[in-house]
Every structure is written in structure tokens, then in C-alpha cells.
Amino acid sequence: MKNISIIILIAIFSFQGVAQEKINWLTTSEFEKAVQKENQNFFIFLEEDRKFENVPDERKEVMKQRMFRFLENEELIKYLNKNFLCYKFNSTASKRINFQGIEYKEVEERGRTYHEFINYLTDSDRSRLPAIVLRDQNFNLFEYHKSIPPTEEIKVLLEAEKLKSNYIIEKLGADHQMSKRSISMIENQSGRLQKAQENNKDKSVLSARNSSDQLLRILTYFVSESYQKTDMEGFMKETRK
């Protein structure tokens, strides 16, 4: 009987140990000091409660828990705690915040409400929340390609469209509706090709609407420095279970 009791106690404590596994969120003060040290990547979770203003507190907590359940995944939690310093900021709960000697506050401008600290963390004045921000050891946003633009394919389509357009204009005249439509198509394809050739990169401000598996692979994409070698879309396809 005594042995059975011991086994039950061990099982209870083991279960509690697993259940209590959670992300090690830094306080704002700890986050500020960590940024100054610049020795580890940062995982920043940004949210606001504005959409829950008319929702009772109990219901609000249930809704938020359901939305962010992916952050409770044990494998994800372990990976975050090992590879990132984690910080959470709620712009509705903190109307003003002092960070590194600068005061950031919530601002209402032209019917739009935004928080200056969110703009600072995302390096943007237009951020859809909730969002996840990943910053490197120097507290810079990662730069990466979402996908590799199909430049050669666009070139072929553009040349084909030009041949087609010349034929239509020759047969129907430049003022014909089909000719104008074809010219417009060439302009669109030319703009698409130019954009692809500019080789623009995205920055690591991500949607918080992810599954735990998807987010884990995204984090690995940056931690493993795969973002320097391949595009995210290709990496996600290769690592899909």
C-alpha cells in the first residue's frame, strides 16, 4: 500500500511538472536589460484587448486562451526557452511605457489608434495585431525571402504577351478594346517583372495565427540561419511532416 502511494505521488508531481511548463516571459525591465546585452535572439508577442472591450472578463480569457493555444505546446515552449528571450506586450493594458529612456504611448490620430511602442518593435507604423516579432542578437529584424520570384517564367509570359499584342494591334488597330486590354496586360507583367528583379526582402514581423508546428518550423528557419540560404516557402515545404 505504501509503495502504491509513493507511485501515485510521483505520478502527480511528474504531471504537475509537465503541466507547469511555460514560456519564460521577461518583464519589461528584464527585456530592456536583455536588449542592451545583445546576446540572444528575441521572440516578442504583441497583442491588444480592444476587440474584447465589450466581452465579459471570463469570456475574454476563454477566447484568448483558444486563440493562443498554440503557445502552450510543450515542444514549442522548450524550443523558445532554449533559443529565444521572450517578451509579451499588450498595447491596451499599457497605455504608456518608458523604454531605454524614451516614453512610448498610445496615440489617437485621424480616427486611428496605435501604440508607439508597437511601431518601435515592429519597425512599422501599420501593424496588425496579434503579431509575433523576431529579432536577432543585435536586436535587428531578420530579413528573408518569403518565396523566390519566378523571374524567368515572368519574362517568357511578357514576351508572349508582346507578340500577342502586336498581332492584335496589327489586325484590329491600336484603338480597339482588345488592343488596349493587351497593352494593359503588358504593363502589369512588366511591373511584376521589375518587382521580382528588385529582390526585395521581408522582415520578421509575423502573424500570430499559426499552429504550434508551423511556428516551430518558422523559428527553426531563423535559428538555423536557413533564412540566409533559402526562401521560407521552400524551407516550410522541405520540413513539412
Collapsing DSSP states into helix, strand and coil, what is residue 131?
strand
Taking alpha carbons only, the member of 129, 222, 137 closest to residue 117 is 129
Q: Which three cell numbers stand for residue 176?
A: 480597339
CATH classification number, 24-145+202-238, choose in 3.40.30.10, 3.40.50.80, 3.30.750.210, 3.40.50.12280:
3.40.30.10
- The pLDDT confidence band at residue 16, using thresholds 50, 70 and 90, is very low
Q: Which residues, 6+ apart, have CB-to-CB distance to 91 below 8 Å?
A: 46, 47, 48, 106, 115, 117, 118, 129
pLDDT digits (tens, 9 = 90+) for 192-229: 777 766 667 899 999 888 889 999 999 999 999 999 99
Q: What are phi and psi of 81, to 5 degrees?
A: -65, -30
Taking alpha carbons only, the member of 208, 205, 213, 212 closest to residue 142 is 205
pLDDT digits (tens, 9 = 90+) for 97-123: 999 999 999 898 877 888 999 999 999
